[in-house]
Amino acid sequence: MIAGAHGGVSVGPDGATHQALEDVFAMQGLPNMSVVVPCDVVETRKATTYLLLQHHGPKYIRFAREATPIVSGEATPFVFGKANVIRLRGEGPNFAEAFKTVLAESYKNENEDLSIIACGPMVPEAMRAAYILKKEFGYETRVLNIHTIKPIDAEAIVRAAGETGVVVTAEEHQIGALAWRVSGILTESPQLYGVPVITGAIGVKDRFGDSGAPWELIKEFEVSAEHIVARALELMAVKKSPPARKEEPSLAGVH
């Protein structure tokens, strides 16, 4: 079992030498390696217990270093290899209590406008984005917590894409560890052949880390909830008014 303890730019002032932004690329590329990226301290405890005591084979678990929002509880489901769906249900004194979390395989479609697929500390940011999208723009969002990157829950991803038509991935990592996996699943899924799905990605844009307070770096590297919202709005605009298709040139009279 390998533990990566400085995942993402939210590590803070230690800077580029201590901010692992490529680790998930490397670990999920190893045959037989399982990769888990928990969203908070509660999910980290559950994942660590499972991987140490029940899982057979090599595994990698990615930890954030700084304090991050706690958005799950002891009753929140955690099943290795299975995504959770998180839905905004209202408002209350505790942000996490405004949401309900269920296993994706038991979730019934509510005809949301879009999906945000996230892992690690980007799950709280995705939840915050869902709140902003609802309160300020009236959009309903299905948030998928992909805590297990490998083996990934392809079924939940395909369902979310097919039922909402818009997918934004969010990772505190170089863009691709999650985004490219999701794109590959959508491209290769027979259920989505002929189904229009618009996708976008939030993550670190091909640069090394930097020093700063965690909240400053989340803004600087464009992985905050506000950046997720901005990307989602761009994609929703395309969904509402898709570009006109160019007519194919006629081959009449061509010999």
Q: Where are any strands of DSSP class E within the chain?
A: 2-4, 34-36, 59-62, 84-88, 99-103, 114-118, 141-145, 148-150, 166-174, 198-204
Give the 3-state secondary structure of residue 61. Answer: strand
Residue 246, C-beta contacts closer than 8 angstroms, at least 6 positions apart:
none
Q: Which residue has the tokens 């400085």?
A: 6
The pLDDT tens digits for 71-82 are 999 999 999 999
Mean residue pLDDT across the chain: 94
The CATH number fitting domain 2-240, selected from 3.40.50.1820, 3.40.50.920, 2.40.10.340, 3.20.20.20 = 3.40.50.920
What are phi and psi for residue 233, nearest 5 degrees?
Answer: -65, -40
Token pair 């309900």: residue: 100
The rounded distance, in Å, linking the Cα atoms of 183 and 180 is 5
Q: Name residues whose C-beta falls within 8 Å of residue 61's C-beta, 6 or more positions apart in sequence.
A: 1, 2, 3, 4, 35, 36, 37, 38, 44, 47, 48, 51
Q: Which residue has the higher pLDDT, 90 or 161?
A: 161
pLDDT (average), residues 103-122: 97
Alpha carbons 103 and 106: distance in angstroms, whole number: 6
Q: How far apart are CA 80 and CA 49, in angstroms?
A: 11
Report the chain's terminal Cα–Cα distance, integer Å: 65
208-219 pLDDT, tens digit each:
999 999 889 999
pLDDT of residue 251: 55
Asked if residue 135 has pLDDT above 70, the reply is yes
Task: Determine contact, residues 88/124, Cβ cutoff 8 Å.
Answer: no
- Closest Cα partner for 79 from 61, 96, 102, 57? 102
The values of phi and psi at residue 14, to 5°, are -65, -25
**Backbone CA torsion sign across 192, 193, 196, 200:** positive
pLDDT exceeds cutoff 70 at 249:
no
Asked whether the beta carbons of 2 and 60 are under 8 A apart, the reply is yes
